[in-house]
Amino acid sequence: MWWSAKFRILAGCAALIAATTPSWPQSNDEAGAEPAAQAEPGKDEYLRHCAVCHGLDGRGNGPLANAMKIVPADLSRRSTRNQGTYPAAKIGDVIRNGGGVLGHGSTAMLPWGIYFSERGNPAVAKARIKALVEYIETIQEK
């Protein structure tokens, strides 16, 4: 198998975190939906799934970053690295398909698209990824 032992451990940690977090509300009326998740779904998704590697501020300094062979991307500089334009489509592709996207580099990042599509519902995955892309835009360096 091509995965290194560290990557398998990190993938397991990410899967454990993802499996133990509440699911994405289907609607704002869903019973038990948290008000914060309704108000800022992108931030909520980011904190649940991305911050463990990319850090609270998106700079690639999350708690698992030091254990990783490849340092997580600094998400706060995506616009700066793209001549001042936020690459929303590219960010969405990387979240959906993992790190094997052209121009992203390594395949170290897990593909979240399948996980986000609860019970095979691509509309849910699309909404969650869109919320994440929009939130990551808000943490761009000025």
Question: Does residue 70 lie in a domain region?
Answer: yes
Domain of residue 70: give its range: 37-138
In a domain, 44, yes or no: yes
Q: What is the pLDDT of residues 26-63, one digit of tens each?
A: 444 444 444 444 558 999 999 999 999 999 999 999 99
Is the C-alpha dihedral spanning 35, 61, 113, 123 positive or negative?
A: positive
Reported pTM: 0.71
Give pLDDT tens digits for 112-127.
988 898 888 999 999 9
Asked if 42 and 134 touch (Cβ cutoff 8 Å), the reply is yes
129: domain CATH number is 1.10.760.10
Total structural domains within the chain: 1
Which residues lie closer than 8 Å to 135 by C-beta, 6 or more apart? 40, 42, 43, 45, 46
Residue 135 CB neighbours (<10 A): 20
Reference 58, options 91, 36, 96; nearest CA is 91
